[in-house]
A and B are shown apart, each in its own frame.
Chain A
Amino acid sequence: MDDSIRTVMKRGFAVLVVAALAMALAPRLRAEGAEPVPSGAHAVRGAEGLAAPSAIALATPQILATQTPTPIPTATKFETPSPSKTSGGTPLPHPSGNAVFFSAEVLDVQHGYIFFSTGDAFKLAPNAHSVWIDNGQPAPLPSTRMYAQAIFDATGQIIELQVAKHPLPFNAAYAAAAHKYAVALSPAVPNNDQWPAALGSSKLNSSRMPLTGKIVSVRFVVEVPPTTPLSDAVYMSTDVSGWNPQAIRMERIDALHYSVTMPLRTGTAFAYKYTRGSWQSEERSKAGIAEPPRHFFLGSSPFGEPDTTVRDDTVYNWADFNPAGGEQLVPGATPTPFNPMPFGFPTPLPAPPKH
């Protein structure tokens, strides 16, 4: 007995080591594209149009066009801008005169203008030149999907483009300063879709508070039927995980509750259902019906965006619950006249040997 316990403990330790290794590998797997779910990592886009990369799992924000007034810092591997570029939007000294720096993704260069993903078009000076930002070597004019940092002269024309194939740091203050140089044939017309007017009428977020994509700790707590087997796991299945019935495993809080906590950005929206690991054991409503998915939207309150929030749900029934007891029919079940078994219950003999 003692030997067997020692053997088991040794092997148990081996299992724990394997578990630790698997845990260590898990982030790497995710980083390599084994996207955690809710997957998609769709951050709320800032007004400057650059998505904020995120190491956390994010679901899909749905109403971004009208709700993203505040830029989100963009993390890149690029070096920090030189000190001369960090004092706001005030024109700074430059060999060819005062300069404003503006960086963004390039959409196109046409007819002497360069178009950025911010929607701004700027005129290129006749003597404008282009260099690679990484080594200062001459470069061709940027094309679609390249990134460029533009330096303007006093007339508002671009005299130099520093180009790269990777995202560049964005300075909202400079963007605002450069915006006055943007060329547009038609006079500006207000956009009623833009926050705050549209936000107030939004069904999803009626608080009239802006959504900045702030990361919020969201805890989902679900109450399950008292007949739920103790040893069963409960999962969240979401549309952003392709309705995988085992997408997000929840942990047991007590005999009736499971929970999972996820960092999500404000603006995140997704649909979800609870399962016990398969669609044959998905949740059912109080009326025993397979109801449409639940919907979650991480909005704001009249006091602003929360730091944490809790979503409470109740599962009233499971699809595989058989009121009379016995085995529920599932795909793969073996046809038998005694299913559910009318005779012999609960005789323990004779069961076939199992090896």
Chain B
Amino acid sequence: MRPLTLAAITLLLFSVVAKPLPASAQIDTIVVRAGRIGFYSSHYIVTADGNVRVTLSDGTTISGRYFEMDLKMNRFVVAGGVSVVHGSYEYSGAAFGEFLDLKRGYFLPATPEPDRWTFLDSDYAKPVKGREMPGDAFNMPETGVEHPFILAKEATIIPKTGIALKPARIYTEGVYVPTPSYYQNFSPNPYLVQNGLAGATGGVGYPFFGGPHSTTTLFGRYDSTNKTYLAIEQNFGWQNAYLVASISPLTRPDKEYNLLGLIKTRNQRFQVSTFEQLNTLQSGFSEPLYSTALENLQLTYGLKNSFLQLTANQYHQDLMAEPLSGTYGGHPFIPNHPNNFELAWVGANQRISKYVPISFRLRGGLLTAHDTFGLGTFDGTPYTSYWQHFLGFTIFSDPYNLTPHAAFDQAVSFSVTYDRQRTFVSSFPRFQDQSTLTAVLSKLQGHKGSMYLAYTVTNEGDYLGALQPVIYPPTVFNNPYNGQTYPGFAAFDGFVTLRTLQYSYTYTPTPYFSFTFVAEKHKDFPDPIPYYWGNPPYDVTGRIQARISPILSVLVQRSYFFNFGPQGWNQWTIQFGP
């Protein structure tokens, strides 16, 4: 055999045998297997001990006695009898640390003598020997005496995105509850946590499956109508898009199937979003007794200092065929399928002049609605469609500091906002006006307290010309709930004025707890009617909002109405939220 051929074969064999795994590979996943893996969710730290074996997505394996990873800082350490195997390369030493963001691996070999090696760009085939290391190359953050939130045997970590643990034992009220798996998202992308569920008083989520672009979560929820029930939600998220599908309740007949979605262009100029909801009354997943739906599509296009928005809504009052009896289990059949389209232009804030602390913003648009089965009647005439267009503006002052020499946290400021919109109904002689004037006096009380005093006047008018007394005939209203007669209501002819003086004080000792007290005085025209219309003459509200865990907060609120018939104390509002 010729020497050249021999050399070529040798080179080929060497290249095959000693071929390292691809250098500078991005580490996409880190799989950790160990006797005990702990996940400290409040610190985003994962620890593992007992025959730890770490497998990187480039095939490199690192084994040792202890593993710890700071998921937010995106770095990990393996310590104690460490062995690193990368292709045909194998090293043993005391510790291995990897800074994934910087692509720097730090290794302490033990034989024949201790040394310091650095792997640049995740190329574990080429150690740079003797290179100085940062002081925290092998730092292992303390977890203190805190219990791990999850205990597991295997963890799959997707850097900067999420961690899947299995089998997962979840720490709940002092007990570890065994579950098959748990997925925790910690991505900087908020599109993986969009929520399509609504309406429950409280709930707990169990995200049991996930990946770089998806999360599946089972919820235990409660509301006063359905009581305790399960719901499920599937999230998909990308850089410029998300999709959320959910069913809630999953275990009750009155179900909502939701679909939320958004996609936008990279230049952040054009966006399409949608919301679809199917409501059914069905046992399990059998044929529904009745079904309604709504579809919403919104297209937004950004202009310079303004945007255009097209919104389309389609409602389906009943998707089932009309039954012979005319009702579905007590639910009357409603044939309507109305839709509406709105094209709006919304301007950004514009300052009148750089010398005048007053700004304004404009809006306007068209709206049309249609329903073959009829939208309603007006002056005795049924309508199946109508058009309207609207123009509106908001003019507002900069907050004027009344105490220029006071410290920031003692400042008192004053501002005025006036909003007005006129809506022309094109299909018949009618236009509607709405205006709101708000004057606010605000004061900070240190860094923890703030108060404001606001006076708001809202006017709403329905202008019908000659039809005014026809549509709004003088009426003496008799309230069946308290037997009281309201002769003053006869003066109502389509024009409403609401005046509110509101005082609000909020005490926020930490960003995670607040107490708010609100007192209001109302003066309405026409006079308010308990249970039917308007605001009580006086009311007070107390509200406490506290965060009780990183994922759970509670809001407790109650109001009292003064001089408003039998309506005194309102029901407690206790709302658990994210």
Chain A interface residues (CB < 8 Å from chain B): 1, 4-5, 8, 11-12, 15-16, 18-19, 22-23, 26, 29-30, 33-37, 39-42, 45-51, 53, 57, 60-66, 68, 71, 105, 107-108, 110-111, 113, 115, 117-119, 121, 143-145, 167, 183-191, 193-194, 225-227, 230-231, 233, 237, 239-257, 260-262, 271, 273, 277-279, 285-293, 316-317, 321, 323-325, 329-333, 335-340, 342-351, 353-355
Contact = CB atoms under 8 A, between A and B. Distances in A.
Given A230-B438, A337-B315, A316 B348 contact: yes
Nearest to B458: A346
Contact of B542 (A12, A47, A254, A286): A12
Contact of B532 (A34, A145, A226, A348): A348
A49 B68 CA distance: 14
B228 interface: no
A167 B390 CA distance: 68
B134 A65 contact: yes
Contact of A347 (B378, B494, B549, B550): B494
B546 A340 contact: no
Given A108-B82, A331-B198, A193 B134 contact: yes
Contacts of B367: 324, 340
Given A68-B136, A335-B317, A345 B114 contact: no
A354 B93 CA distance: 72
- Which one of B104, B118, B346, B390 has the greatest number of beta carbons of chain A within 10 Å? B346
Given A254-B440, A323-B309, A115 B110 contact: yes
B196 interface: yes
A157 B315 CA distance: 82
A351 B532 CA distance: 6
B314 to A, nearest CB: 9
Interface stretch (B5-13, B14-22, B95-103): B95-103
Interface stretch (B28-36, B53-61, B501-509): B501-509
Given A252-B506, A256-B396, A26 B188 contact: no
Given A110-B94, A255-B438, A324 B342 contact: yes
6 contacts: A119-B106, A184-B113, A226-B361, A290-B262, A331-B199, A337-B336
B113 A331 contact: no
Interface string B164-193: 000000000000000000000111101011
B534 interface: yes
Interface stretch (B150-158, B299-307, B321-329): B299-307
A320 to B, nearest CB: 11
A193 B423 CA distance: 63
B43 interface: yes
A170 B442 CA distance: 49
A89 to B, nearest CB: 16
B201 interface: no
Contact of A289 (B128, B271, B518, B544): B271
Interface in B194-208: 194-199
A293 B188 CA distance: 8
B130 A186 contact: yes
A345 B142 CA distance: 62
A18 B425 CA distance: 51
B338 A34 contact: no
Nearest to B436: A227
Interface in B407-455: 411, 413, 415, 417, 419, 421, 423, 425, 432, 434, 438, 440, 442, 444, 447, 449-450, 452, 454
Given A115-B95, A285-B268, A249 B136 contact: no
Contacts of A117: 79, 95, 138-140
A58 B568 CA distance: 44
Contacts of B82: 108
Contacts of A39: 42-44, 550
B138 A49 contact: yes
A144 B82 CA distance: 11
Listed from nearest, the 6 A-B pairs whose CB atoms lie closest are A287-B302, A186-B130, A47-B135, A121-B114, A288-B307, A332-B198
B66 interface: yes
Contact of A317 (B194, B346, B560): B346
A144 B79 contact: yes
Contacts of A183: 113-114
Contacts of B251: none
B533 interface: yes
Contacts of A237: 190
Nearest to B549: A34
Nearest to A14: B542
A12 B138 CA distance: 54
A154 B534 CA distance: 89
- Which one of B147, B423, B475, B550 has the greatest number of beta carbons of chain A within 10 Å? B550
A303 to B, nearest CB: 22
- Which one of B94, B195, B513 has the greatest number of beta carbons of chain A within 10 Å? B94
A19 B338 CA distance: 47
Given A23-B509, A115-B95, A345-B432, A288 B42 contact: no
Contact of B518 (A231, A251, A325): A231
Contacts of B131: 188-191
Contacts of B279: 335
Nearest to A288: B307
B533 A348 contact: yes
A65 B104 contact: yes
Given A144-B65, A330-B275, 19 more contacts: A12-B542, A37-B512, A40-B42, A64-B136, A118-B135, A119-B116, A184-B130, A188-B130, A189-B132, A230-B438, A230-B456, A245-B578, A254-B415, A255-B452, A279-B194, A287-B269, A324-B367, A347-B472, A355-B531
Contacts of B452: 230, 252, 254-255
Contact of B540 (A12, A63, A118, A293): A12
B282 interface: no
A218 to B, nearest CB: 12
A117 B66 CA distance: 13
A291 to B, nearest CB: 6
Given A248-B511, A249-B508, A348 B138 contact: no
A349 to B, nearest CB: 7
A119 B346 CA distance: 59
Contacts of A37: 511-512, 547, 550
- Which one of B101, B301, B378, B511 has the greatest number of beta carbons of chain A within 10 Å? B511
B440 A331 contact: no
B135 A184 contact: no
A83 B187 CA distance: 48
Contacts of B472: 347
B46 to A, nearest CB: 13
